[in-house]
């Protein structure tokens, strides 16, 4: 069946300017980290991507190692792009990354010029694209000079293989230095993609200040803390959940009584606002406009629809924010610096 995008796709989405650039991103972006790889249902993946676009999600975030297996998410997205979204390419922001392990030998990961450029060439081939809109250095390389990594990003933009460049998983000091190098090269550092949620506030205030000072945007990944900030774990660990499996990112050791106490209290606040816990958590990440976009994952269309509905209620009162901070304090202790 031929896909035709909804004529109403831009009516309900909010778009935020990315730092001081000309690029706007949807407040909710879709990441293809899980559930879009070679082991997943192709029809479900296609339905999620096309429904997301119908809801105004124009930004689709990938990486060379997304799947599983690695590379399969990009390959699948390329198939959907070819069969369904090709007429809308100029409406889309497609991003990918390189930094984690992809192939054997000394040039198959990290941040060398050889790896980054080779990896992007492979990503473009898998997706059937001439360029991506944003290309990221996925992680800081402690052994390669930062100048080399940033010069590779500059070369990638000048070659036309990416319109903008960003970094992910860099700390505040590394981000500031990366921005300085790229500014001197004449290619601005557009955006940072950090892990950020109610349960992981490490970017406050250091990294956020660096981003503001350098006119950079940010897109928060794991804003729902791997599902912790949904209704999934309110009553324990379901057998079919990620925490019950072998995930290195979330397992039963993370689902502590203290964590459940916080999540249940936040859920009560969400209910009082007429929101699900997931909507509440996304609204909090987007509060105040310092985060450009919240990057969601999904396993079914209804999750995308629920998350986009967040945008109808993004405001928090001062009392609500103070209550949230109180909930997030360690039990019986004082709130530490964030």
pLDDT of residue 332: 54
Q: Grade residue 335 by pLDDT with cuts at 50, 70 and 90.
A: very low
Lowest mean pLDDT among 28-37, 98-107, 197-206, 234-243: 234-243
Determine the pLDDT at residue 235: 80
Q: What is the pLDDT of residue 24?
A: 98
Residue 116 belongs to a domain = yes
- Burial (CB count within 10 angstroms: exposed 0-12, middle 13-18, buried 19+), residue 1: exposed
Residue 242: its pLDDT value, please? 52
Average pLDDT over residues 136-140: 98
What is the number of structural domains in the chain? 1
Is residue 153 one of the residues assigned to a domain? yes
pLDDT tops 60 at residue 338: no
The band of 254, judged by pLDDT with boundaries at 50, 70 and 90, is: confident
Domain range for residue 102?
15-225+287-313
Beta-sheet pairing, 93-98 with 132-137: parallel
Residue 256: per-residue pLDDT = 87
Is 293 a member of any domain?
Answer: yes
Question: Alpha helix (H) ranges present in 128-256?
Answer: 146-158, 172-185, 206-213
Domain-located, residue 154: yes
pTM over 0.75: yes
Residue 88 within any structural domain of the chain: yes
CATH number of the domain within which 96 lies: 3.20.20.100
Q: Residue 34 gets which letter from DSSP?
A: S
Question: pLDDT value at position 312?
Answer: 97
């Amino acid at each position: 069946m031929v896909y035709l995008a909804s004529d109403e796709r831009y009516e309900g989405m909010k778009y935020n300017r990315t730092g001081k650039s000309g690029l706007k991103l949807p407040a909710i972006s879709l990441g293809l980290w899980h559930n879009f790889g070679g082991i997943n249902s192709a029809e479900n993946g296609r339905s999620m991507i096309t429904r997301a676009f119908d809801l105004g999600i124009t930004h689709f975030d990938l990486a060379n190692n997304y799947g599983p297996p690695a590379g399969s998410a990009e390959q699948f997205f390329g198939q959907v792009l070819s069969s369904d979204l090709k007429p809308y390419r100029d409406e889309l922001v497609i991003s990918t990354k390189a930094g984690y392990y992809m192939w054997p030998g000394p040039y198959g990961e990290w941040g060398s010029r050889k790896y980054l450029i080779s990896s992007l060439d492979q990503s473009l081939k898998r997706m059937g694209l001439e360029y991506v809109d944003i290309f990221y250095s996925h992680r800081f390389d402690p052994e390669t000079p930062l100048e080399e990594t940033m010069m590779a990003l500059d070369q990638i933009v000048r070659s036309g293989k990416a319109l903008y460049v960003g970094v992910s998983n860099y700390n505040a000091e590394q981000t500031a230095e990366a921005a300085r190098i790229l500014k001197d090269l004449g290619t601005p550092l557009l955006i940072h993609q950090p892990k950020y949620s109610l349960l992981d506030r490490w970017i406050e205030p250091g990294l956020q200040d660096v981003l503001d000072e350098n006119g950079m945007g940010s897109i928060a990944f794991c804003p729902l803390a791997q599902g912790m900030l949904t209704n999934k774990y309110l009553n324990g660990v379901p057998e079919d959940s990620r925490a019950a499996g072998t995930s290195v990112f979330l397992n039963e050791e993370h689902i502590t009584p203290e964590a459940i106490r916080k999540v249940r209290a936040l859920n009560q606040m969400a209910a009082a606002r007429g929101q699900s816990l997931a909507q509440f958590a996304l609204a909090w990440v987007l509060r105040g406009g310092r985060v450009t976009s919240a990057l969601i994952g999904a396993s079914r269309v209804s999750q995308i629809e629920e998350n986009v509905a967040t945008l109808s209620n993004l405001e928090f009162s001062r009392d609500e924010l103070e209550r949230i901070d109180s909930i997030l304090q360690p039990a019986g202790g004082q709130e530490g610096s964030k």
